[in-house]
Structure 1
Amino acid sequence: MFRRKETIILLFADIILINAAIILSFWIRLPGFLSTDNFLAYQRIAIFFIAIKLIFYRFFGLYGGIWRYASINEVFSIFKAVTLASLATMGLIFFTQTSPFPRSVILLDWFFNLFFIGGLRFVPRLYKEFQKRGSYRLNQRLLIIGAGDAGEVIFREIRKHPELGYKVIGFIDDDLKKVGRKIHNLKVLGTRKDIGKIVSREDINEIIIAIPSASGKIVREIISYCERTKAKLKILPGMYKIIKGDITINEIREVRLEDLLGRKPVETNLEEISQYLSGKSVLITGAAGSIGSELSRQVIRFNPGKLLLLDNNENEIFFLQRELEKIEHSFPLAFLVNDIKEKEVLESIWREHNPDVVFHAAAHKHVPLMEENPVAAVRNNVLGTRNLMKTAQGKTERFILISSDKAVNPMNIMGATKRTTELMMQFFSNDKTKFCAVRFGNVLGSKGSVVPLFKRQIAEGGPVTVTHPEIKRYFMSVAESVSLIIQAGAISKGGEVFILDMGEPIKIVNLARDLIILSGLEPENDIPIKIIGLRPGEKLNEELLTTGEGIRATRHKKIFIARPDTINPEKLLKDISDLERLSLSGEKDLIIKRLQAMGVLNLKPPMDADKHR
């Protein structure tokens, strides 16, 4: 009822404004117009003149909108309606009048209609804007870094939400052509090098980085300029949000370490993945760990027939169970508190659940700890994996082994055991079961990475401990690594060692500095960084390929295949048998010697590590 009343009021207002526009046009163009033949002619056709305009306004939706939310789309609708209505009325005048109206009258009529009809509809929007702004104090002075599409969208979003208390002072952009120019009447104040003086001069409280396509290097450089100020720093992540056009104020968040990597969202072939996971019985070992739990979250989206989650950590698997059971699913979830070292348990799992696909993420992975516990490393990483592969062979369609960059030219026990599992993967792969391994570097924020350690040290007031000033590591996010693991499983033909594109390695000391800055503190002044020396088994630089391996591309741009080393099956079986015998008797030193004899352990430190000790 209210809407109908509103439409009738708007219709009568338009009739008055249409007449006002033509009368005003005559008055400007023809003084004393009331007695002119043209005006008298208009009076004869006025009803048709008005009707044509109203029909066009109705056709273009000028009576169906909620005008307090009007935007640029409504401006275009008004422009098209008024313009086409003016052209139609020109035709009416041309065919019905012996003396057509002066062209200037028609042009003025078009202009006044545009102004009156548009103005009438934007009054509610303007009233709403002024009312909102008048009721809030804008005391947070904001600087937007990035005078492109993302920065402009963020400005509009902030203007729509005065309740946030933001007052945008201006923009920063490295494009010198933009510096000094204006966006929505706000100036591009300078480049990133000017951030310090602009923040000081304009008394900026907060900075937003609105460059979703920026590389990690650029983000780190921007942060290095921002850290010299006291302004709070936030970021708008994800170029895909710009493309989809669904940026909102909620997308702005604190800067995270993932932003410093500057890695683009992973594109996966959902159809290809669905073909090998949908409706299948899927087993994930080490399901309660960082990789295993993310695998669980992502696999569940592909609607497997059954999802089996195995881990020997009863406490962590309990929390995973609580999390996953909240996610809507139409297939059974089985949470198995078991150990891959127990052959009989694995055989019973296959008898009961018959897994079609296995993601093997269970492993001991802490390098210094495994140096002290080689027996545990061999039992879990080598023998446990052997048990799993042997049980799966011939019964399971696909087996994806989660490996590590530490398996390349290993200098530590953990790396040696992972390299051994890669060789075992080649041995067990056959036509019935496609085995493959996925090798990648450190996962940012995983339970065993340096990030949680650094965060604890920062919370305790420091120091943050780094083993060497030149030590570097490859990093990627948990979600990205798992997406690529799942994709690698889809393209496997059997026997491959897949290598993920890790980007450029990052200095750990720089990572420590960035994390201190993101915590709102200043490196060295607030939190010291202490160099403690390389730990046992630790390399200065990790590698992704062994000296004998080549590399070739796959159809996925972030996944590559290493050309595997040739294996001697009989020798490998004997070596595994020897490791089993030595682990049962607890012979630490003999286990190390056997791993060296197998060619999977090199205890000689690399030259660059010696040089910096």
Structure 2
Amino acid sequence: MNFLTRLKILPRWIIATLDSLILFHCALFGYLVRFNFELALIEQYDAIAGSFTFMIGGLLVMQNTRSYEGIVRHTGFRDGSNIFKTVVINFILFLFLNFFHGNFLNDRFLLPTSVLIIASLSSLFMLIFYRLLVKELFVYLKNGILVKELKNGIIFGAGEAGIIAQEAIKRDSKILFNTVAFLDDDPKKEGKNIDGKRIYKGIGDLEKLAQQFGITELIIAVRDLSVKRKNEIIDECLRLNISVSIVPPVDQWINGGLTAGAIREVKIEDLLSREQIILDNPRIHEDLQGKVILVTGAAGSIGSELCRQISHYEPKLLILFDIAESALYDVEQEFKENHAHCQIKVVLGDVRNKKKVKEVFKAFKPQVVFHAAAYKHVPMMENYPEEAIQSNVLGTKILADIAVLAKVDKFVFVSTDKAVNPTNVMGASKRAAEMYVQALNEYLERNHKSYHTKFITTRFGNVLGSNGSVIPLFKKQIMHGGPITVTHPEITRYFMTIPEACQLVLEAGIMGEGGEIFVFDMGEPIKILDLAKKMIQLSGKKVDSDIKVVFSGLREGEKLYEELLNDFETVKITHHPKIKIAQVLPSSYHKIDGQIELFMNLVTKNSENELVSHLKVIVPEYISNSSRFGVLDRLN
């Protein structure tokens, strides 16, 4: 790249040698000052011997303070502190040696006191000065000689994170970012300076500064910036064609210190994430600690994150159950490396395999079940409805029935907003599963009042970055130069982060008393077309001229918008303002049990129309949209 990045860090022995030479010459300088630079008055042997002794003493002290181990170009306060300790200890050492030598061995000091004071003060100055000189030389070379390669930029955030980011940028010669100013929302900081750079208020002056300094980049470095404000800043930068980077959350670098390499480009997930929802309920720990917990779909996006979060609550045993061998192996390796404190058991199996499921319950006796295994890809399930029904409906029934026989305490079922007024096989299959576990819970409450498994359902929207979701698809299309395919200009979706979704599942697990369907306040729906355009802009490209957006038409079973409640459902509030309960009358257990049992016979017939038609009987609000199964609605 440039010669600065190729310069090697000097070995410690060279730094120690340079420091030693400085100590020696500072002592000689002390003799010269002591005798007014009149060489005739100086005993050469005494001066050289005294200076050499001062240098040896300093070297011995350096072995203790390790002041020569710092990287010179990155000299900071700690390095200066170590040098100060070296000089002070060396000064005290020679005071003691002078006292001992003058009183017990000879009537002369090893080093005259005046020479010792001058040598100590001058060496303190020179040891720090040459380090700072080298450091500033690197900054000068980076900002001066290489000015043509540098990009003028602004740091948003004049607090601790902003200052640390500035220092990290200055230290790293590979980062060609020249900070020309700081921005901050705090009016008290306006007009002040950091490292010689002026602080301006907010983003009101950004356009003027961009024109004045030719700004091409902005780094967001604020510890607790709201998502709304972050979006405002990024929207303004995109309008001005300024690329945006962000300092990661403090907890990701606080222990190791921030490096310039950790400052990353803004991702679309940063803009879609909402204010963090804190579900700090000590009962989660109380409910999960010391228990055997089974997670199905443990290798998937939601299942694997559930396992990560559960591991922090000290379960007795965490069973990771999934059918995907490669993904399950990856999760197992991750747990061995990052969650070794948690005892796990990896089980390769299918929830549709009743024999296998029974073996798992018999062998490990789980007390809590989180059921996240499911087929979720809408167009794929339109093509393979028998797979959706077998996995999402029959698999859930098998697991739930065996959980009851095994006297599991709680069974938390992970559902989706696509189960609400479903227009596709996947959503309808999840709604049928919801109906079954809710009806089963109501049946157990009526017939086994003393003790029974509590069935709880959670329902939420799309999760950011999950396997098969729209964001990874758009990223791949942008990487290949486009076009980005959007099914419809008006299509909208709710989004939430995977950790948020899993927090909800855990919270529901301890909050639920059985039979509830928990729904989450998903915030405002996002227009997918706007999402696509913003992702193009964040990649540094322009919409249409660089990457086009094309409309491919709604896919089979796809809805224009998702809902969190059916038309006949109402909500009940909980202790958490973001979590509500959908109130819907449970179906008759015997009726829905018989209806789902019928699926087992229909699956063997290999008739897709019969399977889907029966699914529409179980879920009467299921009306196919843009699907070949729409004809069944007219027949019914």
Question: Considering the TM-score relative to the shorter chain, is it more than 0.5?
Answer: yes
Corresponding residue number in structure 1 for 2:548: 528
CA distance in 2, matches of 1:230, 1:522: 9
Counterpart of 1:483, as a letter, is Q
Q: Helix, strand or coil for the counterpart of 2:540?
A: coil
Q: Deviations over 1:158-179 (max 9, x none)?
A: 4576775543211235677866
Cα offset, 1:142, TM superposition: 2.5
Q: Helix, strand or coil for the counterpart of 1:380?
A: helix
Q: Deviations over 1:369-424 (max 9, x none)?
A: 21222221111100010000000015211111110010111111111111111111
| Alpha carbons 2:557, 2:624 under 8 Å: kept | no
Cα offset, 1:198, TM superposition: 2.6
1:398 to 410, 413, 417: 410
1:586 to 587, 597, 606: 606
Is residue 254 from structure 1 mapped to residue 265 from structure 2 by the alignment?
A: yes
| TM-score after normalising by structure 2 | 0.71
CA distance in 2, matches of 1:167, 1:288: 44
Alignment of 1:375-394 (within 5 A): 375-394=386-405
Structure 2 residues without counterparts, runs of 5 or longer: 1-15, 17-22, 24-64, 82-121, 144-149, 445-450, 627-636
CA distance in 1, matches of 2:257, 2:517: 39
Corresponding residue number in structure 1 for 2:460: 440
Is residue 279 from structure 1 mapped to residue 290 from structure 2 by the alignment?
A: yes
Cα offset, 1:365, TM superposition: 0.6
Alignment CA distance shift 1:153-1:327 (3 Å)? closer
Alignment CA distance shift 1:249-1:552 (3 Å)? farther
Counterpart of 2:311, as a letter, is I
CA distance in 1, matches of 2:128, 2:515: 64
Cα offset, 1:253, TM superposition: 2.0
Counterpart of 1:135, as a letter, is F
Corresponding residue number in structure 2 for 1:417: 429
Is residue 545 from structure 1 mapped to residue 565 from structure 2 by the alignment?
A: yes
Identical aligned residues as a percent? 39
Cα offset, 1:571, TM superposition: 2.1
C-alpha RMSD of matched pairs (Å): 3.8
Q: Helix, strand or coil for the counterpart of 1:326?
A: helix
| Alpha carbons 1:371, 1:536 under 8 Å: kept | yes
Counterpart of 1:526, as a letter, is D
| Alpha carbons 2:320, 2:345 under 8 Å: kept | yes
Corresponding residue number in structure 1 for 2:619: 599
Alignment CA distance shift 1:262-1:353 (3 Å)? closer
Is residue 450 from structure 1 mapped to residue 470 from structure 2 by the alignment?
A: yes
Structure 1 residues without counterparts, runs of 5 or longer: 3-8, 10-63, 75-118, 607-613
Cα offset, 1:297, TM superposition: 2.1
Corresponding residue number in structure 2 for 1:475: 495
CA distance in 2, matches of 1:286, 1:474: 22
Q: Deviations over 1:455-505 (max 9, x none)?
A: 222222211100111111111111221222222212222111112232221
Q: Which moved more, 1:253-262 or 1:526-535?
A: 253-262
Cα offset, 1:597, TM superposition: 2.5
Q: Helix, strand or coil for the counterpart of 1:362?
A: coil
Cα offset, 1:348, TM superposition: 1.0
Is residue 289 from structure 1 mapped to residue 292 from structure 2 by the alignment?
A: no
Corresponding residue number in structure 2 for 1:575: 595
Q: Which moved more, 1:323-332 or 1:418-427?
A: 323-332
Alignment CA distance shift 1:335-1:409 (3 Å)? same
Counterpart of 1:204, as a letter, is I
CA distance in 2, matches of 1:130, 1:346: 69
Corresponding residue number in structure 1 for 2:539: 519
Alignment CA distance shift 1:217-1:201 (3 Å)? same
CA distance in 2, matches of 1:145, 1:494: 48
Is residue 493 from structure 1 mapped to residue 513 from structure 2 by the alignment?
A: yes
Corresponding residue number in structure 2 for 1:224: 235
Alignment CA distance shift 1:269-1:250 (3 Å)? farther
Aligned pairs, number:
511
Counterpart of 2:165, as a letter, is I
CA distance in 2, matches of 1:469, 1:572: 39
Q: Deviations over 1:44-66 (max 9, x none)?
A: xxxxxxxxxxxxxxxxxxxx9x9
Alignment CA distance shift 1:575-1:123 (3 Å)? farther
Alignment CA distance shift 1:123-1:143 (3 Å)? farther
Is residue 373 from structure 1 mapped to residue 384 from structure 2 by the alignment?
A: yes
CA distance in 1, matches of 2:625, 2:567: 16
Is residue 339 from structure 1 mapped to residue 359 from structure 2 by the alignment?
A: no
CA distance in 2, matches of 1:478, 1:512: 20
CA distance in 2, matches of 1:213, 1:135: 33
CA distance in 2, matches of 1:127, 1:502: 57
Q: Deviations over 1:333-377 (max 9, x none)?
A: 222221111111111111111111111111111111212222211
Alignment CA distance shift 1:153-1:564 (3 Å)? farther
Counterpart of 1:408, as a letter, is V
| TM-score after normalising by structure 1 | 0.73
Q: Deviations over 1:292-328 (max 9, x none)?
A: 1222222222232222111112222222222222234
Cα offset, 1:211, TM superposition: 4.0
Corresponding residue number in structure 2 for 1:17: none
Q: Helix, strand or coil for the counterpart of 1:135?
A: helix
Counterpart of 1:398, as a letter, is K
| Alpha carbons 1:219, 1:262 under 8 Å: kept | no
Q: Helix, strand or coil for the counterpart of 2:312?
A: helix
Cα offset, 1:530, TM superposition: 0.6
2:323 to 284, 306, 312: 312
CA distance in 1, matches of 2:265, 2:223: 14
Q: Helix, strand or coil for the counterpart of 1:435?
A: strand
Corresponding residue number in structure 2 for 1:299: 310
Q: Helix, strand or coil for the counterpart of 2:598?
A: helix
